[in-house]
A and B are shown apart, each in its own frame.
Chain A
Amino acid sequence: MTNTYIESFPAEAKVVRAAFYSSFLALAIGGLFGIIQTLHRTGYYRFMDSADYYTVLTAHGVLLAITFTIFFLVGVFTWATTTSLDRPVEDIRFTWAWYGLMVVGTVLTAIPIFAGFTDSEMSASVLFTFYAPLQGHPLFYFGLVLFVVGTWLAGVDWFRSWWAWKQEHPDKRIPLPTFMVLTTTLMWYIATLGVAAAILLFLLPWSLGLVESVNPLLTRTLFWFFGHPVVYFWLMPAYMMWYVMLPKISGGKLFSDPLARVVFVLFLILSVPTGIHHQYLDPGIAEGFKFIAMTNTMFLLLPSLLTAFTVVASMEHGARQRGGTGYLGWLKALPWRDPVFAGMALAGLMFAAAGFSGMINAGMNINYLVHNTFWVVGHFHLTVGTAVALTFMAVTYWFLPQVTGKALWNRSVALGQVVLWFVGMTFMSNAMHRGGLLGIPRRTAEPQYDGFEFEAAVGSVGELDAQIALGGALLTLSLVLFFANVVGTALNSRSDDLPANEYADTLSGPSDAPLVLDNLKLWTAIAIVLVIFAYSFPLLSIIERGGLFGPELTELPVHIGLGLEYLWATTISTVTTASETVVALGAEVNW
């Protein structure tokens, strides 16, 4: 007799499955674009106009960094709350509603991006960082808004489950997976205020022609207000998998529940006030503010190092229970044949490497060396492109049977797939890093120039290009194997010999964790205070210097359909600034 997720929660399993399939579709299309741009950039195969490169790049970035990751994680989070609270969602129609909203948002966003390939007027080749001065079709921003609102409602769904559960279990600690979901969601709420403001107050009205101009630095800053924490929105679900799945699969228990809670609390409070570290090279932001962002960033290394320790210790516990011995000999006792384990372990290992290039990025001085070079692309293909993506693919091999009730199509193919990703990414990312050190820029269709040659310290640029193309090809092959398994599993018939739906037990349980850790209100309040500290002065000075809508702006349109936005603009600005700009704006708006 099995006890799979789909048996315990048949209705929820359908939503989770739908979310997973949506994310895989994005992964398939995004991955295809990945290899196209790899071959184009390196000059191996250029079949399109170089101007279209940026449309491909936008689709690759949005579909992979936003659509693939977030659809997958809402599935995981729904699984996590229902499983760990042991209760169905409060109202399955609501759950379908937010999923539907996310789908509609994605489609609306994708339409203008893909229209960029046609001759139509419509386009949105604004790259996934979409700040001004690049301007996309309004539909692009509108779709993003719906998508984000969908994720907000998903958060409401998880909170509702927890509140309902708390009524029935007033004295119990929040189960760890739910705790992780809730802290991540709170972080996401704070973080998305940045994009919401950037889109609703500036980019959308600007693209609709309601305002003449915007202050580019302001939209950049608001984007990065969100753009840094979004990486933790990708990473925290991956961490969750390392904490609650990996120990069990290694044959052991989670080393410490309290430590895991501390890590997620630290992410909640430290993720947002760091975004300015993406703007070390932006003129118009004072060095001091950048320095503060750097300091916060360095603190943010702490929870990642804690994670490294806890996760490795949990794996070691498993290995020793399986008979492993010695200082390093225990590594041999780990279940390397299990693709779920091997994939997550390799993802974690690559993340350790990414930790180093990340520290380079985070240092203000050193950042100048690598800023906007190919190095950065090498870095985030290790983080989101591997630590997150490979973890997600690996746990898919566990989740698929849970949400379909069917056995995995082929475990050996799965193992080959995760190993191939590791090898492919090694080649691609290493060459990207090294190319960046030579000054090869990112986001460039044809990184070659007349009368100038990049000089490689080791080997040649041609070799680097070959290495990148080789890596990209292996990654693409890996993706093909992944989808073969997804489709093969879907085509399997139902099996009743599947592992049960469960997650790791702990060595040191929640009763050892101080109660204050579960005080979500307190942590949220601290997070908000830190954000205000880190951002109010920079924002104030940006607005003071460049104006809310850019220096050029002479008049505000008076008759507008979106009066609400102006109302909001004024309210937000009044809260964050007391500058004269606002007073002037307030006076001009026709109430």
Chain B
Amino acid sequence: MNRRVLHIARNTFREAVRDRVLYNLIAFALLMSGAAILVGQISIDIERLVVINLGLTAVSLFGVVIAIFIGIGLVSKEIDRRTLYTILTRPVRRWEFITGKFFGLAGTLLVNTLCMAVGVFAALLYVSHRFQRADGWVLVALYFIVLQFLIITALALLFSAFSTPLMSAVFAFALFVVGCFSEDLRGFAAMAHGAEKWLATAAAYVIPNFSALNVITSVAHGQPVSGQLVLYNTIYALIYVLMALSGAVLIFERRNLK
């Protein structure tokens, strides 16, 4: 990878760590251990179901909040506080800055998710005393969750390339929520007619398809994930991230810094 992109990514990661972003892990650890102890006491059959469901949902929500929070925060801070002045007047291209930020944020989320994954598996071990073959699918679910984070981070960068932090956060959260219901939107598009059909189809393409990336429930029931879905989701996420980042770069290249 390009050296400068790497340096910017590393500095972004360092900033996130020093801004105590990883402290969210404490809250997550408390939540997981509380849930595990509680579930272990009351239920007989459904411990695994509850722990996987709750654990993965928590991983996903914590991560989404962090992705939006730091994705927008760490970029808009550079613009607002004008730290960008001394970066972009060096032999650094604007696309290198955006790309470096993306990788730094992605790295932060990855480390965060890894720690959380350890927590989920620890809780799983606590309630069912041993791992089963089906637990491997939890890893696939986690992989899909990371793909979601990448998409959201790219969107956060796209929004903060032209909008205020608050508006960017609102856009990003709205897209996340709508994206979780994208399956329904696709269903609606299939049934609708005329202008409605067009609108719904267009929206279904623009809005990130988080339904397909969410396999938490089926994994919690021990159902496998098809290899085809893994492949499709990977390609889908890569294309989505690439397009969102390209948009961010295109806007940012033309932007006057304040």
Is chain B a partner of chain A in the same complex?
Answer: no
B-to-A contact residues, CB < 8 Å: none
A-to-B contact residues, CB < 8 Å: none
